[in-house]
């Protein structure tokens, strides 16, 4: 998605450890006009799917998932929580997820009343690196009996294994920007060619 790639090149920053910092428009300060275009693009790519629920994980995927929901007919957005709360009652689906960015393991959960066998799910998240968050979400969704129709990622780190792991499971995965090179010494960012991109 050229609009997204241009924004990453203009405002993104590369940090040591293969970190791409895009907090000025994506995952700290959010550019809602950009999010609208991301939502529109997710709908274009998954327009053949009959989605009745969008699932993401706390926290950075929530805003993107909510905007995307507008393009899928205002379907509910469910997000996996990373901390137990006293206002969550009843049975839950739970798993452990290792965060690449935060270098820690989280217990995450979804209330069973929000996911079930009748749900046809589109997963949306901001980043895909090693795939651990997605694997955790897939475990939770699988336990619920819901079906994963597709996965939409804003930025995939193509040089890490996550995308390959998910695609090898036969799951439809679309990333709006796939970064193949992050060079912290030079600041260089290079993208994989996107066959979906309309330029």
Q: How far apart are CA 136 and CA 158, in angstroms?
A: 20
Instruction: Say yes or no to pLDDT of 35 above 70.
Output: yes
Q: Which residues constitute the domain of residue 54?
A: 2-191
Q: Does residue 163 fall inside a structural domain? A: yes
Q: Does residue 197 fall inside a structural domain? A: no
Provide mean pLDDT across the span 46-60. Answer: 95
Got the DSSP string for 100-129?
A: TTTTEEEEEEEEGGG--TT-EEEEEEEEES
Q: Does residue 110 fall inside a structural domain? A: yes
Instruction: Kindly state the percentage of the chain with pLDDT values over 90.
Output: 84
Q: Does residue 8 fall inside a structural domain? A: yes
Q: How much is the pLDDT for 100?
A: 65
Q: Does residue 196 fall inside a structural domain? A: no
Q: How much is the pLDDT for 92?
A: 93
Q: How far apart are CA 163 and CA 180, in angstroms?
A: 12
Specify the pTM: 0.93
Q: How much is the pLDDT for 86?
A: 61
Q: How far apart are CA 21 and CA 179, in angstroms?
A: 13
Instruction: Say yes or no to pLDDT of 199 above 70.
Output: no
* Burial of 183 from C-beta contacts in 10 A (0-12 / 13-18 / 19+): exposed
Total domains present in the chain = 1
Instruction: Say yes or no to pLDDT of 188 above 70.
Output: yes
Phi, psi angles (nearest 5°) of residue 106: -110, 140
The chain-wide mean pLDDT, for the chain, equals 93
Q: Does residue 198 fall inside a structural domain? A: no
Closest CA to 126 of 151, 155, 149, 98: 155
Q: How much is the pLDDT for 104?
A: 82
Q: How much is the pLDDT for 194?
A: 76
pLDDT tens digit sequence for 102-150: 678 888 999 999 999 999 999 999 999 999 999 999 999 999 999 999 9
Q: How much is the pLDDT for 106?
A: 85
**Between residues 76 and 97, which one has the greater pLDDT?**
76
Q: How much is the pLDDT for 89?
A: 73
Q: How much is the pLDDT for 85?
A: 65
pLDDT tens digit sequence for 15-27: 999 999 999 999 9
Q: Does residue 36 fall inside a structural domain? A: yes
List the structure tokens of 184. 């912290």
Got the DSSP string for the chain?
A: -HHHHHHHHHH-EEETTTEEE-TTTTSSS--HHHHHHHHHHHHHHTTTS---EEEEETTTHHHHHHHHHHHTTS--EEEEBSS--TT--S-EEEEEEEETTTTEEEEEEEEGGG--TT-EEEEEEEEESSSHHHHHHHHHHHHHT-EEEEEEEEEEETTSSHHHHHHHTT--EEEEEEEEEEETTTTEEEE---TT---
Instruction: Kindly state the percentage of the chain with pLDDT values over 70.
Output: 94
Q: Does residue 199 fall inside a structural domain? A: no
CATH of the domain at 134: 3.40.50.2020
Instruction: Give the lowest-confidence range in 64-68, 86-90, 165-169.
Output: 86-90
């Amino acid at each position: 998605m050229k609009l997204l790639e241009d924004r990453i090149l203009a405002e993104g920053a590369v940090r040591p450890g293969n970190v791409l910092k895009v907090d000025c428009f994506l995952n700290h300060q959010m550019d809602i006009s950009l999010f609208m275009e991301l939502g529109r693009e997710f709908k274009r790519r998954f327009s053949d799917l009959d989605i009745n629920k969008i699932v993401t994980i706390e926290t950075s995927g929530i805003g993107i998932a909510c905007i995307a929901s507008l393009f899928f007919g205002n379907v509910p957005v469910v997000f996996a929580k990373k901390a137990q709360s006293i206002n969550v009652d009843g049975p839950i689906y739970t798993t452990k997820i290792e965060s690449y960015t935060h270098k820690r393991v989280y217990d995450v959960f979804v209330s069973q009343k929000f996911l079930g066998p009748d749900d046809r799910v589109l997963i949306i998240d901001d980043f895909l690196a090693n795939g651990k968050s997605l694997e955790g979400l897939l475990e939770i969704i699988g336990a619920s009996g819901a079906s994963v129709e597709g996965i939409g990622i804003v930025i995939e780190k193509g040089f890490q294994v996550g995308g390959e792991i998910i695609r090898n499971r036969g799951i439809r995965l679309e990333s709006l920007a796939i970064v193949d090179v992050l060079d912290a010494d030079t600041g260089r960012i290079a993208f994989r060619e996107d066959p979906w991109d309309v330029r």
